[in-house]
A and B are shown apart, each in its own frame.
Chain A
Amino acid sequence: MVSKRKVVLVLLSLMLLVSLKIIGENVEPREVKNATKGDIIEFNGLCVYSRGEFSVLSNGSIILKIPRALEEGEIYTIRGKLLDGEENFVHPLNITRSSPGFSMETLNGAYWEEGSKCYIFKDGERIRLNRCIEVQKGYLVEMKGIFYGDTFYIVGFEPKGRLEEPRDGYPLFVEGVVLYNRTFLTLWNGREEIKVYPPYGISAPLGARLQVLGIARLHSTLTIYVNSPEDIKIVRMAEKKPIGRESVGDITFGNCQIISASTYLRLNCTHLKLYNGKGKIGDILKFEALRRKSSLYCLKCTIIRRREALENSICTPKKGIVKIEGKVSWVKVYKNGFGLANITDGKCWVLLKLRKSLNLSLEQNQSISAFGKFTRYRGMPAFEIASRDDICLKNSSWGSSEGH
């Protein structure tokens, strides 16, 4: 039998325990900074670390350690007992998710992702973030949160659009046409040339319109360092425009005659030099070329009409590069090395100027073809060629034999 005394004792114990419970629930919590070991505290903070059954909360100035698994990046209000005043180790009594009740820092910068890690660029400094957010890489963002160590823990953020003007050390998005593709790319964005250093092994064809995202450096030219292949996208090829209507960064096209040929070509349709093209004076070139700042670069060039196919213009002199054919009726060489050869074809004749630098000697009755332009010599009709390659001697080993 259970005696009355025992029942009373059990009830007394229960009553005392209930009293302790009520007292415990009504204890006014202290602020962590004023609390000592054993005090009941209440703390509102962000979970900045959680591994296994151990988490760390911070409100930006105070750090609290808790033997519970919490979710990193979430805000909690903890009521608990301070077990260690120096380490701020707390035995939690009540944990609730809540909104921030602490002052936060605001960071304005450009959002950045690299591998699985995310950053914000601010005043030339790269700050690590605790998590990645749904903002496009390189875009401006305003973040609210707190620092824990050297990591910024995000509580809230607001995208602020794209950075339009380049700032040193900040991410920059540019779009432009590839003018040069050497160890680095040179892009034309419509206003200026931009150097782009792509990741190892990545390049882009000339004339391609690219979208590039990288870190800008303001050297003598705007330079962009790209760290991920995904940050270079070919949008399309540059716009095509007929020769004469093009501007820098366009691809221009046309059929023109070569009027000069050396390491570059000069054409009769533009004053710009054409690089990367091959042909001879007088050839008709069909080309697609990239317009650079002060030249053209041949992307696709073919000779559509060789100069040999030109008609003999000895009887019908005209401007531009023409072909003359005929026989050498006489040759005269002055003491200074300059010479003249009279080329005749039927009743038509013209004096062929033989500059000393051509190092060319002709003989009477030789048949020749020459490519050059009409000029005058002491009031008489004359013809001049640019180089010895532009004359073809028949029945002779002199001069160029190409085209024969």
Chain B
Amino acid sequence: MTVACAIRLNSALTAEQKALFQSPDQIRKVLATARNIAIVGLSAEPQKASHFVASYLQDADYRIVPVNPRGGMILGETVYGDLTQIPFAVDVVDVFRPAHEVDALTATAIQIGAKVLWQQLRINNITAATHAREAGLVSIVDACIKMEHGRYSSGLHSVGMNTEIVTARRPRPPGSAF
């Protein structure tokens, strides 16, 4: 298993908060096990950050579940008005809404049995994050799920970004006998 440094860069969190809410081990586990990712505040506009993230996650074989009161379809998926309307289980609730809305979203995420509450880059509600954590959810704060996936899948590396991954181990290709 690759050893990754904890993220040191570009976050408003304290070292203690980073250990709780940006643990590389937890993030890697989430990325490896999640299937359905509800994206709250997903925009229908193709050039918005949330749309970039959703499209990227689809390419990486996750199913995205758009949540936006405007309804309709985004990226081939039905848009639900809120989390409670989703008729199947979601693994991750990925939040693109202002910090003050995250308290209510957290309560709903717990109610629908989500396993992960993920507050995107620059969204930083520690009270809600702590609440989610105490309810047994994995709670991520002030991080981008696309960038984190890119860190471990060589995508970010390919555009010269510092993934902070340092290892001499040769990765095993999927399905390798060795």
A and B bind: no
